[in-house]
Structure 1
């Protein structure tokens, strides 16, 4: 029979084990809390933009990671001004002012392709048009574009400039083009690098959740209607405007590479002008594609000109219902050859500019017809700037 002393020793041993387990658990919890708080503080201090931290992180999680919603993480206990940060965060997320970043193209396109599950925006969203300029260097018609944007609601548009990396757009801080040059790469005419630049522009513009329409422009493009007309026409359109058609000649079907089969068949092959306009839904589909882009990158080389075939073919194959099948940028191909006609100072008259706007033709618009078919035109030489500025207020109405 056991003595009382023996029983006391057994009880003491049991409780010491329990206390040891509790101590270990408390120490683990305390260590986790310390590491958690340190991680948050370090993240806040190391980020160049606090608001960018709060806006980008919740949308860059892997499928197995938990949400980093600030309220669920008790950030308020670490940062006393969380309410103010949330306001700044949402403002920069819905309408970011800074287009500079350190993302690679792969990171950018992945980030831009993310779509929120909740279709309702938690802010007063004004649909914007993203004007995306693809240029080698200077923008000779910048004064004309400045006049086009002058006095307009800044919530209705955004500007993005893609130029060769060594070029820096030098404008005053009062210009709407100020600090609108995106991280860019070199572009070579007739190569897939043109498609890369287009996708890069779309990716950067998609980071702004208020951008709803995306128009690609060159340094030789001008608007032939005023901003309110352009805005209403695009924002109220149910379709995108991406040129896509069958060209049976050697400049169309003749560029098809049979090595693209069976993913892209001859009957899928389309051609079109690279100067597109598209809505947000289609833009996301284009930049999210990797399979068909890689096929074009591999097999559409030499005299294939992927910028004239990749988007027209891809959109025709999978998203034709979103597209009107035409462009809203006028180009004169009547001279033939690989380049369109260009227009200098001597070509700019009131009658000519009116003919671009009203030439008696009609086109499709929201399953109906419209007499307004082109909103922009190219290809204008720098010498055309002065006469264009002289006729703009009278003919172009800006």
Structure 2
């Protein structure tokens, strides 16, 4: 998974006009129109890689002591794989051999690199420029190994308004209620209602 992400970044870096890089899945939707998303990303002084220290089996329990001394348990982080980064960090990720090889060797079966490699790498080396959050909204409240999935009947005006402005966070040193630019997991069955509400709620043209 990490090798695939690095290849995507490497190919995107070949275009020198690309300054921001966003990883999305086929089940992600935009919550705002293009100009709003573009302005938010380009004006940000931070990168957006979620990283937090989680106790228990799915957090610190996935750490291997064999990663020492390069990665200590106290440095081990978990987070969403759905990142939003700048060109400088993208270059660092693609060119990293040291941490990548440690994860490739010791983060296996019960350890999921896509949930730990970037959060750990960024927290160790680039934490000053990172926000420690993702711009992609996802709901894990129902429990289980996968986040909540949304079908046609889940898509309502109130729900979309909540996704757009229902939380608060920090952006460039100021509080804001625009914390997520994207959301997942939406099925193809939700597309017709999303298309119906998009012009009114999200100001799509």
Q: TM-score, normalised by structure 2?
A: 0.98
**1:266 Cα deviation after fit:** 0.3
Hey, what's the Cα distance between the residues in 2 that align with 1:369 and 1:253? 31
Hey, what's the Cα distance between the residues in 2 that align with 1:342 and 1:249? 25
Larger Rg: 1
In the alignment, what sits opposite 1:47?
none
Q: Is the CA contact (8 Å cut-off) linking 1:220 and 1:378 kept in structure 2? A: yes
In the alignment, what sits opposite 1:392?
198
| 1:213 corresponds to 2:20 | yes
In the alignment, what sits opposite 1:366?
172
Residues matched between the structures, number:
204
In the alignment, what sits opposite 2:46?
239
**1:379 Cα deviation after fit:** 0.3
| 1:267 corresponds to 2:74 | yes
Q: Is the CA contact (8 Å cut-off) linking 1:240 and 1:279 kept in structure 2? A: yes
Hey, what's the Cα distance between the residues in 1 that align with 2:54 and 2:14? 35
Greater relative CO (CA pairs within 8 A, separation 6+)? 2
Query: What is the Cα-based RMSD across aligned positions, in Å?
Result: 0.7
Deviations 1:203-244 (A, max 9, x none): 111111111100000000000100111011000001100000
**1:197 Cα deviation after fit:** 1.2
Q: Which runs of 4+ in 1 moved over 3 A?
A: none
In the alignment, what sits opposite 1:310?
117
Question: Structure 1: which 5+ runs fail to align?
Answer: 1-193
1:253 paired residue among 60, 83, 108? 60
**1:371 Cα deviation after fit:** 1.1
Hey, what's the Cα distance between the residues in 2 that align with 1:390 and 1:371? 24
Please state whether the residue corresponding to 2:23 is helix, strand or coil: strand
In the alignment, what sits opposite 1:67?
none
Deviations 1:299-329 (A, max 9, x none): 0000100100000001111111121110000
**1:336 Cα deviation after fit:** 1.1
In the alignment, what sits opposite 1:378?
184
Question: Structure 2: which 5+ runs fail to align?
Answer: none
Deviations 1:101-148 (A, max 9, x none): xxxxxxxxxxxxxxxxxxxxxxxxxxxxxxxxxxxxxxxxxxxxxxxx
Q: TM-score, normalised by structure 1?
A: 0.51
Q: Is the CA contact (8 Å cut-off) linking 1:282 and 1:322 kept in structure 2? A: no
Hey, what's the Cα distance between the residues in 2 that align with 1:280 and 1:321? 16
**1:249 Cα deviation after fit:** 1.6
Hey, what's the Cα distance between the residues in 2 that align with 1:389 and 1:197? 31
In the alignment, what sits opposite 1:148?
none
In the alignment, what sits opposite 1:56?
none
| 1:342 corresponds to 2:154 | no
Map 1:352-363; keep pairs closer than 5 Å: 352-359=159-166, 361-363=167-169
